[in-house]
Amino acid sequence: MPADKNAHPRAAQLRAALPAVVVLALAAGYIGIGVVDEVADAVPGGVSPVVHAALVALQALALVFRFRTPVRVFWLVVLLDAVLLATSGGELGMGSLAVMIATYALVRGGLSRTGYRSIIGAAIGTSVVGTVALLASAALPPLVILAVVMARPVFQYGAPAALAEFLLGRERLVQALRDRAELAERERRRDLEQEILSVRTAMARELHDIAAHHLSGIIVGAQAASALAATDPARTRDMLRTVQQDARTTLADLRRTVGLLRSDDDTDGNGGTAAPAPLPALARIPALVDSARSHGQSVQFTVTGAPHPFGPLAETAGYRMVQESLANAARHAPGTLCTVSVEYLPELVRITVNNAAPATAPAALPPGRSHPGYGIAGMEERADLVGGRLTTGPQPDGGWSNRLEIPLERNRSTP
């Protein structure tokens, strides 16, 4: 039996050597019988028991290498067993134990076509040798000779081969179950990592949209208040109140977003329960426009067609697209006119945000950064999620246009 790879090395070596030791002990015991003369007389052929014991000892020595070269060891052991049969009139079966061990090792080592041929050929060969030797000695009745000839291959080759195949099959089954469990664990980890990555990407989009929109408004409002401080104190106070309100709204939105990650984050910081911020929706786009106007942006807004019932992902995608577009216009083209249009068509909704060319050229991107930022990437990801089509790019007049088309059929809201 092959040594267990997980067992202690010395214990495995002892188990591997045990069959050879048993066969060697059989040879020594055959010599040490006190009635050597009687044994010599009982065995036909007149060959000394010492010679037979030496042949069995050679079998034991060969078995030491049964796992390194199983086919060669098998044939050597079978050959020595055939010599034992031929020189004992077919009656001496001391070599059978070594043949059984060699057969077992051959099958456990992974029986190939060569191994099958070896076993079949050895079974036929030893049967022929044993039959000829028994018939030549005429020491046994014909029926007994037939029974011995038929039983020897079964016990010497069939039984150990069947046992080895059974144990090998169990080992393969256990290994297959282990591999299947490892594969399932790897798939579970991969799914978990993918889920975590998706959540992180969604959180990054939400945090970016919130920060980009509200902080851009806060910056614009603070700049306007600073410009009006000396000439219009009343207007300055109104602008500062708007900035404060935007800061509170930003904080509430950030808490809502973080609350998606922490279920225990349900307080407003003063011991009370924080009121949930409204979810992004196409119906809240006018509020976005009003907020942009309150920060000094010039925005025109139009809606055509009857609103369609969209699902939450589509509502969020459209809302965030307008939010990001207005924030980009305030940041990169301050003071220019923006137009926001929502067109409800029979098969889709088309949302377009255009801004005119800025009075001054936009600042160049930092060295090594060839993309405009995460805002457009977030809009593209949301468009992909809802099967929409996002088109962005500069206009002939130097302005910029973002257009999102969301199909109704794929994103129809269900009651």
Which residue, of 110, 140, 170, is where some domain finishes? 140
The predicted pLDDT at position 413 comes to 62
**Do residues 375 and 212 touch, judged by C-beta distance below 8 A?**
yes
Domain that holds residue 63: 9-140
> What token pair was written down for 15?
């188990």
Asked if the structure places residue 384 within a domain, the reply is yes
Asked if the structure places residue 332 within a domain, the reply is yes
> What token pair was written down for 369?
């950064």
Which residue, of 84, 116, 140, is where some domain finishes? 140
- From 404, 365, 362, select the one nearest 387 (Cα to Cα): 404
Asked if the structure places residue 174 within a domain, the reply is no
The pLDDT-based confidence of 223 (bands split at 50, 70, 90) is confident
C-beta pairs of 258-263 under 8 Å, 24+ apart in sequence: 260/203, 261/199, 261/203
- Counting residues of the chain whose pLDDT is more than 70, the rounded percentage is 66
Asked if the structure places residue 82 within a domain, the reply is yes
Q: What is the mean pLDDT of residues 290-302?
A: 89
Q: Give the Cα separation of 224 and 217 in Å (integer).
A: 10
Sign for the pseudo-dihedral over CA of 366, 370, 376, 378? negative
Asked if the structure places residue 152 within a domain, the reply is no
Asked if the structure places residue 223 within a domain, the reply is no
Interval 232-271: pLDDT, tens: 777 777 777 777 777 777 666 666 666 555 544 444 444 4
The predicted pLDDT at position 354 comes to 94
The predicted pLDDT at position 263 comes to 43
The predicted pLDDT at position 371 comes to 45
Asked if the structure places residue 182 within a domain, the reply is no
Residue 96: C-alpha distances to residues 13, 234, 280, 346 (Å) = 23, 112, 84, 88
DSSP per residue, 195-259? HHHHHHHHHHHHHHHHIIIIIHHHHHHHHHHHHHTTT-HHHHHHHHHHHHHHHHHHHHHHHHHHH
Q: 257 or 279, which is more confident?
A: 279
Asked if the structure places residue 217 within a domain, the reply is no
Residue 1: C-alpha distances to residues 64, 102, 167, 175, 355 (Å) = 12, 10, 10, 17, 81
The predicted pLDDT at position 2 comes to 52
The pLDDT-based confidence of 213 (bands split at 50, 70, 90) is low
365 has pLDDT over 60: no
What pTM was estimated for this model as a whole?
Answer: 0.43
Structural domain total, the chain: 2
The predicted pLDDT at position 269 comes to 47
> What token pair was written down for 128?
């022929």
Interval 100-122: pLDDT, tens: 888 888 888 766 666 666 677 77
Which residue, of 140, 170, 195, is where some domain finishes? 140
Interval 311-355: pLDDT, tens: 877 888 899 899 889 988 888 888 889 999 999 998 999 999 999
Task: State the DSSP code for 315.
Answer: H
For position 289, which CATH number holds?
3.30.565.10
The predicted pLDDT at position 414 comes to 52
